[in-house]
Amino acid sequence: MTKSLSKPNIFAIGNVQFFRKDLPLITPPWLVGVEMQWTLFDPERKSRNLASESLVKEADLLIEQKQKAVNLAAKIAENKLLSLKEQSETLDASRQQTYTTTEMVRKRMENSLSSVKDVNDALQLQYEAEKLYYTSVVAYQTALATYFYINGNPENITNYIP
């Protein structure tokens, strides 16, 4: 825009008088003209051009910086997703194992090979494993929502949460 100030300005002028009441006879009823205006010397033009060029460069750098920040955040969210998915799968296997252990301890108690305290301990381990698993699932779903938010389509989270 500041570079356009150094270009010439060209104006076209046109006029038609339908009522010649106050015009002298030697003046035609129409007028057509072209005017050109060109500033040849403007000492502030160079500084305005440099200032606008620096603003454009600054905007480009900010755009590049934001793009890199978004790409980094997306990569971090993707790595977090992979980590939390593996953690959830591991905790699910652990949770399934605690079900088996609790059932085995119950059967041993029925055969008088273990006590009620052993069953209680097994149940407490089972509940702790379930808490860890469901906490991991919520963390995974939160990371998934964050990933979709960073990528610009948060509505896709509904496809992944049952």
The amino acid occupying position 149 is Y
H or E element that contains 30 = strand 30-37
Structural domain of 29: 9-37
- Looking at the structure, do residues 79 and 148 belong to the same domain, yes or no? yes
> Quick count: other Cβ atoms within 10 Å of Cβ 149?
14
What is the rounded (10 degree) CA torsion for 136, 140, 143, 144? -170
Same domain, 72 and 113: yes
Residue 137 included in any domain = yes
* Mean pLDDT for the stretch of residues 136-145: 92
Residues 129, 74, single domain; the answer is yes
Domain count, the chain: 2
pLDDT digits (tens, 9 = 90+) for 29-83: 777 888 887 776 667 777 777 888 898 999 999 999 999 999 999 999 999 999 9
pLDDT value for 38: 74
pLDDT at position 114 is 85
Residue 13 tokens, joined: 């002028």
3-state secondary structure of 15: strand
Q: What is the pLDDT of residues 76-122, one digit of tens each?
A: 999 999 999 999 999 999 999 999 999 999 999 988 888 899 999 99
